[in-house]
Amino acid sequence: MKKLLVLGVGNILMMDEGAGVHAVHEFWKEKENYDESLVDFIDGGTFTQDIFYLFEGYEQVLVLDIVRAGHEPGTIYSLDEDDLVKNKKQILSLHDVDLLDSLDMARMRGHRPKLKVLGIEPDKIDWGTEMTPALVKAFPAFMNVARKHIEVLLK
C-alpha cells in the first residue's frame, strides 16, 4: 500500500473549476522530486463514484479542488474530513458528494484512507480553458501549500 494519493479534481473546460487538475499536472512536471513508491499524482477530472477503488491502495488521500466559501478569489483552504461533514454550508466544488460517497464505498470494501482537502476559492466558473487572472496569481501559493501538505503527509 502506498502512503499518499494526491488527487486533482475539477473540469479544465470550466475556467477556475479546473484548478485541482492543473495542480496535478504541475506535480507531474516535478515527479522526480517525489518517491514514486510512496506517492501517486492522479488527474481525477470531474470524478465520479466509479473511482472509489483507487482509494483502497493508499493510507491517505490529499484532494486538490476548488472550495466555494464566499471569500476572496484565491483564498486557500485546508480541510480535514470533519470539516466537510460538520460544516454543511461549506461547498466543496461539485465533487464533494462523490468524494465522501467514494470514501464510504472504499470503507465497505475494507480500507478507507484518511482524507485531507486543499482547496482554493474560485473567481469564475464558466466555459473556458484558462483560469482567471485572480487564480493564476494565487496558483503559485496554492502549489506551495500543496507541497508542504505532501511533505507532512509523507512523514
Instruction: Give 13-54 pLDDT, tens digit per residue.
Output: 999 999 999 999 999 999 999 999 999 999 998 876 677 888
pLDDT given at position 91:
54
pLDDT over threshold 80, residue 98:
no
pLDDT over threshold 70, residue 92:
no
Instruction: Give 121-136 pLDDT, tens digit per residue.
Output: 999 999 999 999 999 9
pLDDT given at position 14:
96
pLDDT given at position 87:
62
Nearest to 116 by CA among 62, 74, 70, 153: 62
pLDDT given at position 100:
74
Give me the chain's average pLDDT, please: 89
Most confidently modeled range among 65-74, 103-112, 141-150: 141-150
CATH number of 68's domain: 3.40.50.1450
pLDDT given at position 31:
93
| CB within 8 Å of 130: residues ≥ 6 apart | 15, 136
Nearest to 130 by CA among 4, 18, 2: 18
Domain of residue 96: give its range. 2-153
pLDDT given at position 101:
76
Give me the long-range contacts of 105-112 (CB less than 8 A, separation at least 24).
105/49, 105/52, 106/52, 106/53, 106/55, 106/56, 109/52, 109/53, 109/56, 110/56, 111/1, 111/55, 111/56, 112/55
Averaged over 103-118, what is the pLDDT? 86
Question: Structural domain tally of the chain?
Answer: 1
Nearest to 21 by CA among 83, 93, 88: 93
How does residue 82 score in pLDDT terms, banded at 50, 70 and 90? confident
pLDDT given at position 70:
87
Within 13 Å and on the Cβ side, how many CA atoms surround 72?
Answer: 6
